[in-house]
């Protein structure tokens, strides 16, 4: 380890008092830091960093990447995690900074990235599946490469030396540029047109490719290949001048030129140059509007998919693999391919075939109409290409060769973004007629619910037809961990290679807020994967983190933790809300009560996408006819409160959309259970109520509320509560400080409700004719009366937020969700 000469930190631009401003030193700011975010912000301020992003890399600038920790951590471990991210970025052809730095509250260290690059070629290093998996073992493996190049600083003594070192590194503005290869040629060309070509005023679009090759085959001083494509690049001072025939092109603005060549390295390596030149005729600027169709994949996301394929399949994959996209649409996924003679594109709609064939961007590709879920499938589920005669002979032969494992066979990559259609039952529904009844679906009877999904039907045929292929697919994540797909996963078993998830908002035609996965699989290797680790991208394609998906057996899921009670013959009024009966009387499955029940628990689905909308408790049955409901009895109330709280306390995001709730893996502390009880009682989805005069099925119905945590005298009620169950249940329970605060603030609101004389409109709307009104009625009535008498909910909200903050990390700690 190289240590710098300790410097006095008496003077610092961050420690002077000027015009009344007290600016602390970096060391002082770190001493006051309470979290990793505080540590990051302290360094960002002290270093004056600009253009900062905080994503997968903790602090990312163009010149330096920082790994940050809230606690003191060995620098070599932090550098190991940074090198994981450098390795990933390099495999994807992304820009890499010239310097790497690691920081915590005590110390910092920096090193030139180029000194560490040789370790990426060491095949003996065992890399983890994610950056968070970098540990001391990985640190020991990389130490021989980087240890002598690390300069470490103790902030208490070397603050100014570190600040100066980082600022000098930024001032050097050295960048490790991305090479131009056969695999990223199309992407580089499209970016060149956007940043450089459009500034040249070119008259013919075909000339872009000629000028592009003149530019990349020049190192800024001399041509690597003389007149590589019929054009030449000269320089007038530092300004580039392009010569094509009698035309001379100069840049209207050279900013894009400078930025482009700060990202990419030129000329390409010697071994790639002639191959790249042979691809010239396939390059035309991509008009994104030409690719917008029913299942349009934005081209910035296609870019990321090709980066991912390069990372998963290694360099030159576009030359080595034959590609078949049997859901090609109008060709989005092939828009970035640089070797279209290796590409087969088929689609259901003949009109899309016409569009693709007329698009010069696909010159050289084999394009044909094909209904993959119906064509060439026999009555016995076998594949017979002679039935339709549509599959090109070259593709047929490649499939046969690959299946037989011939040494000369080219590997096949299936690259698809299939439709995400789902039938409501085994024979399809009115809105999606025929979804489940394709010819290929006839052989999927053993897959249950999964057979209704169109993309699973594609996978079923692919597994049967192309068992040795690689598969790269955009899709929802249902097949990874959804309970209804357990039988499918038993047959799937492909080896996971790599992948990313992207926010569904990136796709214009998709509604909702969920992840779309682009996952790469090796079908030839049967290695079922229980943990799928991915990179997470936002809608623009920017990396925002990592995300793991877990495949747990269905008997581990939380919905198996609470046994269901049998219904009896006592009729109950089906509700759509706390006090609103359903409007129909026919076709309702939930219309009977259960012995000893005190509430009905709506608890549908086992994942976070359902938790917010399908979790609630009622004083009668909920009207939805599904198996997701439970009856709450005194003997299962504790479990019901835990399940309710666990499902509701974690907010839904697009990334955790598919996460499955699990049975607890650790013993539940009594305090956690009592905290959950209080959280449930004062939750917005506690829809228990006391009400008379509900009309349904020609009868009048009443609701009895068993979920009042106070006595009549505690809240000043003017009448007797029909049930005192909850008061008796809570007697003797010792509540935590946070839960106690919620109970106290809730009691004040309950008392205010009973002290308020509401007008008839509010009393009628919320059925306030009984003393045993529930939390839903109390909140809504006070809010509705706010224009007359404003109720201050803020103290209650603050107490409830504190209890929420306490419970959230315990959901992971106790095993209800995997960390």
pLDDT of residue 548: 93
- Write phi, then psi, for 509 (nearest 5 degrees): -85, -5
Residue 433 has pLDDT above 60, yes or no: no
The residues near 475 (Cβ < 8 Å, ≥ 6 apart) are: 417, 418, 420, 455, 516, 517, 519
Q: What's the whole-model pTM score?
A: 0.80
pLDDT at 597: 96
Contact 573, 620 (CB under 8 A): yes
Given pLDDT bands bounded at 50, 70 and 90, which one contains residue 227?
A: low
Whether the pLDDT of residue 5 is over 60: the answer is no
Phi then psi dihedrals of residue 389, to 5 deg: 70, 15
What percent of the chain is predicted at pLDDT more than 70? 92
Higher pLDDT, 266 or 400: 400
**Max avg pLDDT among 411-420, 519-528, 721-730:** 721-730
Can you say how many angstroms the Cα of residue 303 is from the centroid of all Cα atoms in its chain?
A: 17
Token pair for residue 238? Answer: 């530092």
Question: pLDDT value at position 173?
Answer: 64
Q: Which residue has the higher pLDDT, 324 or 158?
A: 324
Q: Is the pLDDT of residue 6 over 70?
A: no
The structure tokens listed for 240 are 């580039």
Determine the pLDDT at residue 367.
97
Pairing status of strand 366-369 against strand 343-347: parallel
Hey, which bits of 272-404 come out as E strands?
322-325, 343-347, 366-369
- How is 431-491 classified by DSSP, letter by letter? GGTTSS--TGGGG-GGGGGGGGBHHHHHHHHHHHH-TT-EEEEEE-SHHHH-GGGHHHHHH
Position 381 scores a pLDDT of 83
CA–CA separation, 198 vs 518, rounded Å? Answer: 31
What ranges make up the beta strands (E) of 476-530?
Answer: 494-503, 515-526
pLDDT of residue 228: 64
Residue 194 has pLDDT above 60, yes or no: yes
Under the banding of pLDDT at 50, 70 and 90, the label for residue 359 is confident
Give bridge partners of residue 470 from the DSSP assignment. Answer: 413, 522
330 and 291 Cβ atoms separated by less than 8 Å:
yes
Report the pLDDT averaged over residues 613-623. Answer: 93
pLDDT confidence of residue 175: 60
pLDDT at position 736 is: 97
Q: What value does the mean pLDDT take over residues 323-349?
A: 92
- One-character DSSP codes across 198-257: GGTT-SSTTHHHHHHHHHHTB-SSSBSSSSTTSEEEEEETTEEEEEETTEEEE-S--HHH
Given this model, what pLDDT does residue 4 score?
43
Range scoring the smallest mean pLDDT among 29-33, 136-140, 368-372: 29-33
Question: In terms of pLDDT, which residue wins out, 117 or 687?
Answer: 687
652-675 pLDDT, tens digit per residue, is 999 999 999 999 988 999 999 999
425 pLDDT more than 50: no
Mean pLDDT of 215-238: 81
Cβ atoms of 600 and 573 closer than 8 Å: no
Query: Which residue do the tokens 């008379």 mark?
Result: 692
Q: What does the pLDDT look like over 54-80, one tens digit per residue?
A: 888 999 998 899 999 999 999 999 999
Reading the block at residue 412, the tokens are: 């096949």
613 vs 697: CA distance, rounded Å: 27
Query: Taking residues 290-295, what's their average pLDDT?
Result: 55
**245-256 residue pLDDT tens:** 888 999 988 888
**pLDDT above 50 for 18:** no
Tell me the average pLDDT across 677-696: 97
Q: What is the pLDDT of residue 281?
A: 66
Helices (H), 97-206: 136-146, 155-172, 185-195
Own/partner long-range contacts of 569-572 (Cβ < 8 Å, ≥24 apart) = 572/600, 572/620, 572/621
Ranked by mean pLDDT, the top range of 107-116, 430-439, 748-757 is: 748-757
Please give the pLDDT value at position 491: 87
Q: Are 15 and 23 in contact (CB under 8 A)?
A: yes
More confident residue, 149 or 717: 717
| Nearby residues of 20 by Cβ (< 8 Å), 6 or more positions away | none
Q: Which residue is listed with tokens 């459009």?
A: 198
> What's the Cα-to-Cα distance from 359 to each of 131, 150, 286, 506, rounded to whole Å?
41, 53, 10, 24
**Mean pLDDT over the full length of the chain:** 88
Are 523 and 468 within 8 A, CB to CB?
yes
């Amino acid at each position: 380890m190289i240590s710098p000469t300790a410097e006095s930190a008496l003077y610092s631009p961050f420690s002077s008092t000027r015009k009344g401003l007290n600016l602390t030193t970096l060391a002082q700011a770190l001493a006051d830091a309470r979290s990793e975010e505080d540590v990051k912000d302290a360094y960002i301020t002290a270093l004056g960093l600009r253009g900062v992003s905080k994503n997968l890399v903790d602090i990312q600038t163009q010149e330096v990447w920082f790994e940050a920790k809230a606690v003191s951590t060995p620098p070599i471990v932090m550098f190991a995690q940074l090198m994981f991210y450098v390795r990933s970025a390099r495999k994807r052809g992304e820009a890499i900074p010239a310097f790497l730095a690691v920081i915590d509250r005590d110390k910092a260290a920096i090193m030139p990235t180029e000194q560490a690059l040789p370790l990426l070629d060491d095949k003996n290093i065992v890399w983890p599946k994610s950056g968070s998996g970098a540990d001391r073992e990985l640190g020991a493996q990389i130490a021989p490469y980087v240890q002598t190049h690390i300069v470490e600083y103790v902030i208490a003594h070397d603050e100014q030396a570190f600040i100066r070192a980082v600022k000098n590194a930024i001032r050097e503005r050295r960048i490790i540029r991305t090479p131009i290869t056969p695999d990223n040629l199309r992407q580089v060309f499209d970016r060149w047109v956007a940043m450089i070509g459009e500034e040249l005023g070119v008259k013919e679009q075909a000339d872009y490719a000629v000028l592009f090759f003149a530019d990349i085959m020049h190192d800024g001083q001399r041509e690597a290949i003389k007149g590589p494509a019929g054009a030449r690049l000269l320089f007038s001072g530092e300004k580039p001048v392009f010569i094509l025939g009698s035309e001379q092109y100069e840049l209207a603005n050279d900013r894009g030129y400078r930025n482009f060549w700060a990202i990419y390295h030129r000329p390409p390596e010697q071994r790639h140059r002639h191959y790249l030149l042979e691809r010239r005729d396939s390059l035309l600027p991509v008009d994104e509007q030409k690719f917008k169709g029913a299942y349009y994949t934005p081209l910035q996301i296609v870019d990321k998919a090709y980066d991912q394929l390069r990372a998963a399949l290694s360099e030159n994959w576009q030359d080595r693999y034959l590609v078949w996209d049997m859901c090609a649409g109008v060709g989005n996924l092939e828009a970035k391919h640089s070797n279209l003679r290796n590409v087969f594109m088929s689609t259901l709609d003949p009109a899309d075939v016409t569009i693709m064939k007329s698009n010069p961007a696909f010159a050289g590709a084999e394009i044909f109409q094909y209904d993959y879920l119906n064509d060439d499938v026999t009555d016995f589920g076998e594949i017979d290409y002679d039935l339709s005669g549509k599959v090109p002979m070259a593709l047929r032969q490649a499939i046969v060769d690959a299946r037989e494992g011939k040494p000369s066979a080219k590997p096949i990559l299936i690259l698809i973004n299939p439709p995400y259609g789902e039938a409501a039952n085994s024979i399809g529904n009115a809105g999606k007629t025929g979804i489940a009844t394709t010819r290929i679906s006839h052989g999927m009877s053993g897959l249950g619910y999964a057979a209704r999904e169109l993309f699973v039907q594609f996978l079923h045929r692919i597994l049967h037809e192309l068992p040795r292929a690689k598969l790269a697919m955009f899709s929802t994540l249902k097949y990874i961990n959804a309970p209804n797909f357990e039988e499918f996963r038993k047959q799937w078993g492909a080896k996971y290679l790599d992948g990313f998830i992207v926010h569904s908002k990136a796709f214009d035609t998709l509604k909702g807020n969920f992840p779309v996965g682009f996952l790469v699989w090796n079908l030839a290797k049967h290695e079922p994967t229980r943990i799928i680790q991915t990179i997470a991208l936002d809608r623009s394609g920017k990396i925002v983190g990592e995300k793991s998906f877990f495949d747990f057996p269905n008997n581990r899921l939380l919905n198996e933790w609470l046994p269901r009670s049998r219904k009896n013959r006592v009729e109950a009024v089906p509700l759509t809300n706390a006090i609103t009966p359903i409007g129909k009387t026919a076709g309702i499955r939930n219309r009977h009560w259960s012995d000893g029940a005190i509430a009905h628990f709506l608890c549908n689905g086992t994942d976070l996408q359902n938790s917010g909308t399908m979790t609630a408790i009622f004083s009668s049955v909920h009207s939805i006819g599904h198996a997701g409901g439970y009856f709450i009895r005194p003997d299962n109330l504790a479990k019901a409160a835990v399940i309710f709280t666990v499902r509701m306390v974690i907010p839904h995001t697009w990334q955790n959309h598919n996460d499955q709730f699990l049975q607890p893996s650790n013993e539940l502390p009594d305090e956690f259970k009592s905290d959950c009880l209080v959280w449930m009682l004062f939750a917005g989805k506690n829809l228990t109520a006391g009400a008379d005069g509900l009309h349904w099925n020609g009868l009048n119905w009443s609701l009895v509320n068993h979920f009042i945590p106070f006595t009549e005298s505690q809240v000043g009620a003017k009448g007797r509560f029909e049930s005192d169950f909850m008061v008796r249940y809570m007697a003797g329970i010792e509540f935590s400080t946070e839960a106690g605060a919620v109970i106290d603030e809730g009691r004040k609101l309950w008392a205010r409700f009973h002290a308020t004389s509401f007008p008839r409109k509010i009393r009628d709307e919320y059925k306030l004719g009984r003393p045993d009104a529930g939390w839903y009625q109390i909140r809504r009535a006070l809010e509705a009366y706010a224009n007359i008498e404003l109720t201050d909910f803020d103290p209650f909200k603050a107490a409830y937020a504190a209890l929420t903050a306490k419970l959230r990390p315990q959901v992971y700690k106790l095993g209800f969700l995997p960390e």
